[in-house]
Amino acid sequence: MRNEPNGPELPVPALEDLVAQKLIAAREKDALDVLLVAASADFDRQRLALSIEARDVEVAVRRGLFELFGTARSGRLAQLWRERTGEVLAEDMLARAPPRPTRSTSRLQDWFGVSP
């Protein structure tokens, strides 16, 4: 729950649930968010796995993950970053093609036990 100043408590999903939801949606606009979380956030990998398993969405999450890797390899994520921020995506945030995984894509591989 999250409480806004002078406002009602609002339910807010855990970061792990949000990552899974964004991968399931597999929208371009969510791909950057997932990479940003992977690059900067330390969260409970086990909780992510349990959340995905409990909701029986492993296939959908994995499909989204492979969509994300494909978008990264094609250069589209770099283009989306430029459109969103007006800046060039830093090389340490995104490798354009395997086998040069970045910290972001390596963490995603670790979370899900897959390679792009």
103/49 Cα distance (integer angstroms): 20
Residue at 104 is within a domain: yes
CA–centroid distance for 42 within its chain? 12
CA–centroid distance for 55 within its chain? 18
Residue at 93 is within a domain: yes
Residue at 59 is within a domain: yes
Residue 96, pLDDT score: 34
Local structure of residue 5 (DSSP, 8 states): T
Residue 31, pLDDT score: 87
pLDDT in tens for each of the 116 residues of the chain?
666 778 788 888 888 888 889 999 999 889 888 877 877 667 677 888 888 888 888 889 889 988 888 888 888 988 988 998 898 887 666 543 333 445 556 666 666 666 55
Residue 43, pLDDT score: 67
Residue 99, pLDDT score: 34
Residue at 57 is within a domain: yes
Residue at 115 is within a domain: no
How many domains are contained in the chain? 1
Question: What domain range includes position 102?
Answer: 2-109
Q: Which residues pair with 9 in a beta bridge?
A: 3
The secondary structure element, H or E, covering residue 80 is: helix 76-85
Tokens of 83: 């459109």
The residue to which tokens 């800046």 are assigned: 87
Residue at 91 is within a domain: yes
Residue 22, pLDDT score: 92
Residue at 30 is within a domain: yes
Residue 107, pLDDT score: 66
CA 12-13-19 angle, to 5 degrees, is 140
Residue at 10 is within a domain: yes
